[in-house]
Chain A
Amino acid sequence: MPIILDKVSHVYGQDTAMAVTALKNVSLVIPDGQFIGLIGHTGSGKSTLVQHLNGLMKATSGSIYFNGEDIDAEGFDKKMLRSKVGLVFQYPEHQLFETDVFADVCFGPKNLGLSKKEVELRAYEALKLVGLEDAYFYQSPFDLSGGQKRRVAIAGVLAMKPEVLVLDEPTAGLDPKGRDEILDQISRLKKETGMTVILVSHSMDDVAKYVERIIVMNKGSVMYDDAPREVFRHYQELEQIGLAAPQVTYIMKDLQDHGYDVSDEATTIEKAKEEIKSWFARLSAVGKGR
């Protein structure tokens, strides 16, 4: 179900001396089935924005429409919204509370008032989706490693079968291997279920590999909203706001500057590899031609 944000602004501590404008006139359309990266420097308002999507925060001005309905309207079912727009917070492992992993994942679907059988089925499916091994299901969530805890927390949201999954920096504080595993899992999930996924991050390298659209936030406003390639064209502007294009983009640009005839549109290592290979192919073709 599409989400539309219409000129959403949010001010923390309004009417006090400490008022902070965290969002300024943000207008976005989030259609079904997209894989979106939401990127911005620390404090640019990413977390604030995503908390508006499931109605946890109320916009100071502007409106948000879920499937055409205003979510702040009288009588709008917020619980339904939260089950459809699953939000995984930054450091979600801090929300675990049950005595075993399986019970914790059951918490979400149980709140939806489903039958016990359905709840357990969903919890099982969700734990499978995030790739947690069966051996851990009945352990205390507090005995797991950081990466495992995070999977459990993500499963806790997935078990509600949301149509839109929002992940706020799911890889913060994980080692490179844990990071890649989680991101690969999310990307597989996206392919299998076809749900909309919004991935919040401040690493372009993480995001470039997976998403089809990038929204760049700067000081509470949307700065760019486009396909990764188009966004990375503005790498100089991105640097000015404390971000950077993926490292391969820089390599390709450097190659160009040194007179090699390659395109600088590659955003992932894979694409860069292909581009360089095809450059060699062209080179040898020219050589043979002589």
Chain B
Amino acid sequence: MLRDITLGQYYQADSVIHKLDPRVKLGTTIIFIISLFVFQGAWGYAVAALFLALVIKLSKVPFQFMVKGMKAIVFLLLITVIFNLFLTPGEPLVTVWKLTITKEGLRMAVFLSIRLGFLIIGSSVMTLTTTPNQLTDGLEKMLKPLNKIKVPVHEIAMMMSIALRFIPILMEETDKIMKAQLARCADFESGNLIKKAKSLVPLLVPLFISAFRRANDLAMAMEARCYRGGDNRTKMKPLHYEKRDYIAYAIVACYVILGIAAGKLMPLLVSGIIQLV
């Protein structure tokens, strides 16, 4: 049941994107997200769409798989679109009963859904092609300079990777406990809100107990292997930039320039052509 959520899940494949240094992927994702808010107009988004399509193609992750993971977010997207569609003041386009769709509202709704959609797909490309461990390794190395101002970067990264590692385990556990209670005719669906909340007790109590047990076991196992924080700790797989990583950075730079240029220049070009004609 819960396994269908693919957001934040790793998809094993042999592709260039998978092989990239996690720092490149993290950086690119951040730049991509910012670019979605910087780029202007339809042309800018066209460039972003092209870039995203290229990355997805290279990543060898089936597009269907990505979309399936997005089902949970469709609801959020829908609400945003509806609110923008009806509540943006401006030049009225259609009026149904008391609701008015304005030109500005329509524009806003379209752009917002594109932005949100791209944002989610973009970040899920990163999580689908990078294992949680690589991700936290990359993050740790990127944030290393903060160590100088006494930020415990290694500890934070360690906590993050443990938390990420535990998500699928806890999901599996939830699934198991849910089934065990269903086998005792538990009812998680019917009734009003209070009754529903109450019906979660048989699920949550065992889940918390098992989470604490696991955390305790893990702490014990780390202790037994003499684990201690970050100072002078070496990595089993240290991160190194390769040629492909520099190429990736170059491509991203091209993308940003192209996107900004397209947003600014294409409308001018188009209006110029129209004037000429």
Q: In residues 68-96 of chain A, which contact B (Cβ within 8 Å)?
A: 79, 82-83, 86-89, 92, 94-96
A79-B65 in contact (CB<8A): no
The reply on A145 being an interface residue by CB < 8 A is: no
Interface residues on B, range: 20 to 34
Q: Which residue of A lies closest to B183 (CB)?
A: A87
- Contact B210 A107, beta carbon cutoff 8 Å: no
Within the assembled complex, what's the spacing in Å between the Cα atoms of A17 and B210? 30
| Cα A71 to Cα B65 with chains together (Å) | 30
B228 part of interface (Cβ distance < 8 Å): no
A79 and B185 contact, CB distance less than 8 A: yes
Query: B183, A107: Cβ atoms under 8 Å?
Result: no
Q: Does residue B206 face the partner (Cβ distance < 8 Å to A)?
A: yes
Instruction: Flag whether B201 is at the interface (Cβ < 8 A).
Output: yes
**Contact surface of A with B, Cβ cutoff 8 Å:** 13, 15-18, 51, 54, 56, 79, 82-83, 86-89, 92, 94-97, 107-108, 111-112, 142, 156-157, 160
* A92-B180 in contact given A108-B185, A111-B187, A142-B209 (Cβ < 8 Å): yes
- B181, CB-defined interface residue at 8 Å: yes
Interface, chain B (partner A; CB < 8 A)? 3, 11-13, 62, 64-65, 176-177, 179-187, 201-202, 205-206, 209-210
Q: Are B185 and A111 in contact (CB under 8 A)?
A: yes
Minimal beta-carbon separation of B184 from chain A (angstroms): 4
CA–CA, A118 and B201, complex, Å:
23
**A17 B11 Cβ-Cβ under 8 A:** yes
Rounded to whole Å, the gap between the CB of A43 and the closest CB of chain B is: 15
A92: chain B residues within 8 A (beta carbon) = 180
By a CB distance below 8 angstroms, the chain A residues around B181 are 95, 107
Contact B177 A82 (CB under 8 A): no
A88, closest chain B residue (CB): B183
When distances are taken between beta carbons in the complex, the residues of chain A under 8 Å from B206 are 94-97
Give the Cβ gap from B38 to chain A, nearest Cβ, in Å.
35
Give complex CA distance A17, B61 in Å: 10
CA–CA, A150 and B100, complex, Å? 62
Residues of B contacting A112 in the complex (Cβ-Cβ under 8 angstroms): 185
Q: Among A17, A82, A96, A97, point to the contact of B183 (Cβ < 8 A).
A: A82
Q: How far is the CA of A54 from the CA of B180 in the complex (A)?
A: 11
Q: A111–B3 contact, CB under 8 A?
A: no
Whether B65 lies near A156 (C-beta < 8 A) is no
Q: How far is the CA of A16 from the CA of B206 in the complex (A)?
A: 31
* A94-B210, A142-B209 known; A157-B12 Cβ under 8 A: no
Question: Which residue of chain B lies nearest to A56 when distances are taken between CB atoms in the complex?
Answer: B179
